[in-house]
Chain A
């Protein structure tokens, strides 16, 4: 039976995917049936593109976070859906007096529909930045970057995860532009209700098995956090230590990973939610046992879907390689479209893009031989 909370189906629109990779940016455009896909690119060949996002408020503005092996981090902007690009005049950078330097911009998030032109960026080391002019100039969100508790919550910039701790999963409450969440790979999930002026940790119930106190208030490692657009009090997260759901005003996250098959486990990086049904979500598990191989468990990749808020899970692997496939999927590299039967897409560490036009029941390889995929977003 359909959930009463499901919202109306949006008008169908052709799906285009932005494929951000370790060596540049590509696009994959579907025909109306989503059976045929056309790969185009690269843009920024040789640049490390951590994230590329289209502004859903105007459908034209695209931001891409890039750096190269030599050159410092920047943001490129397009106002014509990627046909032409300009560099941000003032990319995210910490204040000189902070003593900190941005290594790369990791996450880009459009702001609230009531604030056109507002974007947020999360960096490594962990910093939060805001633009009010469509990504042309960026300033630090002082309420977070200079919060007196920031070091206690997140540790120092050298304490983070491999490749640098990352501020990611910047979530804007569709009911209130002043209400935001952020996820940090070294710190956990935090919430502000005053547009970033002050923050509080939202980590109760989430395990942090790598800390001396596993029930600590902060110091957690969420890999990907999503807020459901149709039910903004519902959050899901794929964490370093399992999968969780939070239904505010409850303060404790509920462990929804315990029902995953033991042979697969509840570790992974991406998590995506159905655009209309708050009870439906997908994860893509990886091997987080032993020395953390970070590959598909047993070399058999599969998505797992839940249609009941994480109470139970179904394996979705039809069409995916059955054996000896040792790739996995990074936290920004899985997404959904908004078609009546939702399309689910992911990019792999081995440079493939896979898609399902039937909500994960069957998968088809849409592109291969690309560089290591860092992010996949619907345009």
Chain B
């Protein structure tokens, strides 16, 4: 699948705005694969309790994923978005 990387995380991906990873069963698996390739990225968007951080949104083929157990099998795109978080 393609993972769309927002500007605020591109320091982890050497500037890449999209990266390709192998198909994953869940969003959790996708983020684990992403973190293995770009260490530290996952903790910036998921807290130590496994919750997606308040100002981060994850979209799986356009649908909002509210938790990491959301299925991701066969999806084409995981989009990471930094939502509005104030000044």
Contact = CB atoms under 8 A, between A and B. Distances in A.
Interface of A: 68-72, 74, 87-89, 91, 93-96, 99-102
Contacts of A100: 48-49
A308 B54 CA distance: 49
Nearest to B48: A93
B44 A101 contact: no
B62 interface: no
Contacts of A74: 40, 43-44
4 closest A-B pairs by beta carbon, nearest first, are A69-B85, A71-B44, A93-B48, A70-B82
A96 B45 CA distance: 16
Contacts of B44: 71-72, 74
A69 B49 contact: no
A72 B86 contact: no
Contacts of A101: 47-49, 51
Interface of B: 8-9, 39-40, 43-51, 53, 55-56, 82-83, 85-86
B56 A70 contact: yes
Given A89-B39, A89-B40, A93-B43, A71 B49 contact: no
A99 B47 CA distance: 11
Contacts of A96: 48-50
Given A68-B8, A70-B8, 12 more contacts: A68-B85, A71-B9, A71-B53, A72-B53, A88-B40, A89-B40, A91-B40, A93-B48, A94-B48, A95-B48, A96-B49, A101-B48
B39 A70 contact: no
Given A87-B40, A89-B40, A72 B49 contact: no
Contacts of A71: 8-9, 44-45, 53, 56, 82
A90 to B, nearest CB: 9
Contacts of A99: 49
A70 B48 contact: no
Contacts of B47: 72, 93, 101-102
B55 A102 contact: no
Contacts of A88: 40
A72 B45 contact: yes
Contacts of A70: 8, 45, 53, 55-56, 82-83, 85
A88 to B, nearest CB: 8
Nearest to A46: B8
A89 B86 CA distance: 28
Nearest to A44: B11
A69 B55 contact: yes
Nearest to A91: B43
B48 A69 contact: no
B47 to A, nearest CB: 4
24 contacts: A69-B86, A70-B45, A70-B53, A70-B55, A70-B56, A70-B83, A70-B85, A71-B45, A71-B56, A71-B82, A72-B46, A72-B47, A72-B53, A74-B40, A89-B39, A91-B40, A93-B43, A93-B47, A94-B48, A96-B49, A100-B49, A101-B47, A102-B47, A102-B48
